[in-house]
Amino acid sequence: MGIQIKSIEDAFVQALTPLVDQGLRTLDSYAEHLGVDDLRKMVSRVPAIYVVWSGSSIETINQVDQYASRVLVFVCDVNLRGQSAARRGDAVSPGAYAWMDKCRALLHRKHILQGWSPARCQSENILAADSSAVVLQAIYEIMTRVST
């Protein structure tokens, strides 16, 4: 049977859907090259959250395959008052840090996909920033076992 990558991404997007009602403008899968040069494309409709499956490892023990799949969550924001306001927020916008906190509340230690372990946040960091924009990244892992 194996894993279904699209199902993993879809489950993470679905888990983050409540943020749309809180002012999130973009929630989608993102599969293009990631780097500083792509910053402006990622922050075109902010605040934005993008989800992408980044890979799986498979360990086979006897007749059981154990899958560990990693999912990246990108939080993007722009603020004309500068990068600090994009990260930390101001009177107009909560900022990328607050959006990352909301993502963690919805994902970390939560069952995102039936038959898989709860999602576990492995790390969070700043991926890219310029004078008025910031992209944060969180790495989540989920695991499952499949008998062959």
Q: In this structure, which amino acid lies at residue 56? A: S
- Angle at 70 (CA atoms; ends 64, 71), nearest 5 degrees: 135
Pick the CATH number of 5-147 from 3.40.50.2020, 3.30.2000.10, 3.40.50.970, 3.20.20.210: 3.30.2000.10
**Distance (Å, whole) CA 90 – CA 26:** 20
Per-residue pLDDT averaged across 73-79, rounded?
Answer: 92
- CA torsion angle for 103, 47, 132, 85 (degrees, to 10)? -60
pLDDT tens digits, residue range 8-52?
Answer: 999 999 999 999 999 999 999 986 655 556 666 666 678 999 999
pLDDT tens digits, residue range 96-111?
Answer: 999 999 999 999 999 9
Structure tokens, 13? 């997007």
Other C-beta atoms lying within 10 Å of the C-beta of residue 147:
8
